[in-house]
Structures are given as structure tokens and as C-alpha cells.
Amino acid sequence: MAENVSIPAEGSVKEKVELLIPQLKALTEDEPDLIANMGNIASALKEAFDFFWVGFYRVDGEQLVLGPFQGPVACTRISYGRGVCGTAWKQGKTLVVPDVDQFPGHIACSSRSRSEIVIPLFREGKVCAVFDVDSDELDRFSETDAFYLEKVVSLLKF
């Protein structure tokens, strides 16, 4: 299959994700390389939603290490429990942060990031990575975004 995803220009999060999921599934289901699949998912979501930054951090010991992403240069390592990503890892739950400046211990990889959503990804009941999306707008993300982005990243096989 050609690596091509048709991304709708308009529509709700639900409408866009429902159109993207079958395409992303077809793109990733026969590709065994997790890094390649993470890269394609990050790219498709950045294009579909015009997010500021989209990417993955992988658990390596007591740190998260930068994985595939789309957007400006990012922090390479984040400690367990630090910032939004490290806290989502520690708590094992999705965090929606309307204003990152109000989040205790926020790590400013970019001063242009204003709001964020982080989704932990699991292998055998343990967090093995996090999916991180930043916006340059305040209050960009909702629980609806969390629900649909969780559906997209569930396509990854850890």
C-alpha cells in the first residue's frame, strides 16, 4: 500500500478520527516496526488537526526518551513524575491540561506551547510510552479529544 492518508480539512474531532482510523489501520497493521508506525501516526495527526507538536516518548528505565514526533525540537529526556508527560506516566492516566503554565512542574520544551494532552500507552499492564500533543492555543483539548486520540494510538501494538 502506498503511504498516503487522506486527511479531511474540515470536521469535528469525531468525524476526522473516524475517517483517519481505517486509513491508519491499513497503514500500520502490516508494518511490524513500531517506530515507523509511531512516526506515521504523529504525522497524520499533526496534518489533520494542525497541532503545534505531536509525538511519542518511550520509557527507558526511569526516564522518558524522545521518540518519533512532528514539530519543533523537543526535550530529549523527561524524568519519571516530572512535567505533564512524566506525571501521566506516573499516574497511568490521560492528562488534559488547558494551561500548561498552571501545571505544577511543567517542563517548557517550547515557550510557544500553551495547552497539552498526554496519553499513556501500556504493554503488559505497565506504561511503556506516552503520546504527547501540544497546542499553541490555551484550552485547545477536551475529554472528547482524549477519547478519540486514545482510539488512534490504540492502533499501535507494543
Sequence-separated (6 or more) residues with CB below 8 Å from residue 42: 54, 55, 56, 68, 69, 70
Whichever domain contains 123, its CATH number is: 3.30.450.40
Q: Is residue 6, in this structure, part of any structural domain at all?
A: no
Q: How many domains does the chain have?
A: 1
Angle, helices 34-49 vs 13-28, to 10°: value is 150
Q: Is residue 25, in this structure, part of any structural domain at all?
A: yes
Per-residue model confidence as pLDDT tens digits over 120-157: 999 999 999 999 999 999 999 999 999 999 999 999 99
> What is the residue range of 61's domain?
13-153
Q: Is residue 1, in this structure, part of any structural domain at all?
A: no
Q: Is residue 2, in this structure, part of any structural domain at all?
A: no
pLDDT at residue number 105: 85
Per-residue model confidence as pLDDT tens digits over 64-115: 999 999 999 999 999 999 999 999 999 999 999 999 999 988 888 888 899 9
Q: Is residue 27, in this structure, part of any structural domain at all?
A: yes
Rg (CA), the chain: 15
Q: Is residue 4, in this structure, part of any structural domain at all?
A: no
Q: Is residue 124, in this structure, part of any structural domain at all?
A: yes
Global pTM value: 0.93
